[in-house]
Structures are given as C-alpha cells and as structure tokens.
Amino acid sequence: MAKDSGIEWTHHTFNPWWGCVKLSPACAHCYAETWARRVGMDLWGGDAPRRFFTEQHWHGPIKWNAEAERQGIRARVFCASMADVFEPRTDLDFWREKLWALIEKTPHLDWLLLTKRPGHIKHVYPWARQARQNVWLGTTAENQRWADRRIERLIAVDARVRFLSCEPLLSAVDLERWLKRDQIGWVIAGGESGGAARPTHPNWIRSLRDQCTKFRVPFHFKQWGHWGPEFQGAATAKMIELQDETGSLERLTWRPKKLSGRILDGHTHDGYPRA
C-alpha cells in the first residue's frame, strides 16, 4: 500500500496481495517481481505463495476515502502494482471478495483495476454486467497481438471507464476499431525502465497520440523510460538505432528515466477521463 503514489496517473496505489505469474512480453522485466526479490520474497510463479496483509493495510483506503470526501475530490487508486487482481487462482478469491467490499465502502475513490487477464474478469468480478461507478477497468496492450486478444475481452465487461496501459510499448498498436466506437475511454503509453529495458520507437507513441486525438480519447504519456529520443538532453555513451514497421530510423540514447522524461515532440500529454 502506498499513499500518494509516485506513479504519475494515480493518487494512491493499493495491493490486495503480492505475487503473480508472468504471462506475456510486457511481464519479461516485471518490476514487481524484482522488488519482491529485493526484499527477500519469492512470490512469482504458479506454485509460489502469495503475500497477504493485515487489517491495518486494508484500512488505508478507508482513510484516503475520508480525506477525499473532506477535500471534495475524487482520488484515483491504482490496484494493483504488485499483483494481478484477476489472476485465476482460487486461494485469491477470499481476498478478492474483501477487495470488492472495500470498493463498496469507498465511494469517493475511483479504483483503477489494471489486469493482463481480462478474460477472467467475468468469473470473479461482481459488477461485470452492471458497471460499478467507482471502478475503472484496464488492460495492458504492449503490442498488436496482445491488444487484439485482451481488448476484446475487456470490452465484453461493463465498466464506468475502460482504459489501456500501452506500456512497455513494444510495437505499433492500431486501436482505431475500439476508439471509434467509444469502447476505450483512456490510453496510457510509456517506454520501459530498468536495467534490461527494451526501446520504444517514438513513432509508436506518436501513433497512439494521433489515434487518441482523432477520436477525442484522453491520452497520457507516462515516460520514455531508459531509452529516449536523442534530442532530449545530453547524449550518452549508450546509443542505438531503432527502425519502426515503416522503415523509419530513430536514434535513441540511454539515460536515467528521470532525465529521459516524458516530453513528446515538445509537449507533455496528461489526458485523463472525466471522473
């Protein structure tokens, strides 16, 4: 649990448990697994245990809800950064039920449930056929293959807002067929950070920005990650050339992710759906 999350697009993060199983290319350098190992916990894989928490941890969002009510705002809670809420595992059902009850008790919080397993939502989520007003459901779309597969499953579920996390973005992704039908209400994009970060071609980000502009869908560019366009800041020793699907070559340099920043063609993109 973290109050005032460091993630740009949320106020808080909440984890109902820690641990997961890797599923797709986006998971290859899962920072949650790295972080858990760093604090001495082996929680990744189908046979590994999960880490659960005490009532004190579960009380955090109740306090955030009271604060949001006092301030007259809606606060966003990202759930979960150290797990996947819809992992198909029966020992998690008890904790999922506890999470649904917590969501009901916190109407001043917008819960952002981001999953790589949208196909499992309908089996365990109580509001799959009638949107819960304080829940936004999102899925990861790191390349076209996983976008096609996951978005179809996400749109089969009712939601106040459906959103996409295109991060780490690993190829061009065409979203027009869903954006033009208002089936997706928010797109977040970003590159990868961490020691083995894979580069993101700037044209892949530009394409998402342009598709969102065309269909008036809010677009949020979170970060370049470690590989950023050459013009952003001083050159470093580590440099690569990356070609996109059209043959366009771009030179990228490796920097700490804070230095790479989040400016795209001279602008930041901080789009959010209306709460």
Q: Which residues bind ligand SF4 (CB under 6 A)?
A: 20, 22-23, 26-27, 30, 32-33, 83-84, 116
Quote the longest CA-to-CA distance of the chain: 54
What is the DSSP-derived secondary structure letter of residue 107?
T
| C-alpha distance from residue 44 to each of 52, 82, 248 (Å) | 14, 10, 38
Rounded Cα–Cα distance for residues 25 and 146 (Å): 9
At its nearest, how many Å lie between ligand SF4 and the CB of residue 137? 15
At its nearest, how many Å lie between ligand SF4 and the CB of residue 12? 18
Rounded Cα–Cα distance for residues 175 and 181 (Å): 10
Query: Cβ closer to ligand SF4: 33 or 110?
Result: 33
At its nearest, how many Å lie between ligand SF4 and the CB of residue 273? 22
Nearest to 81 by CA among 161, 24, 7: 7
At its nearest, how many Å lie between ligand SF4 and the CB of residue 120? 12
**Which run of H or E residues covers position 189?**
strand 186-190
Query: Cβ closer to ligand SF4: 107 or 194?
Result: 194
Query: Cβ closer to ligand SF4: 19 or 61?
Result: 19
* Terminal alpha carbon distance of the chain: 22
**Which run of H or E residues covers position 79?**
strand 75-79
At its nearest, how many Å lie between ligand SF4 and the CB of residue 235? 31
Say which amino acid occupies 137. Answer: L
Query: Cβ closer to ligand SF4: 24 or 232?
Result: 24
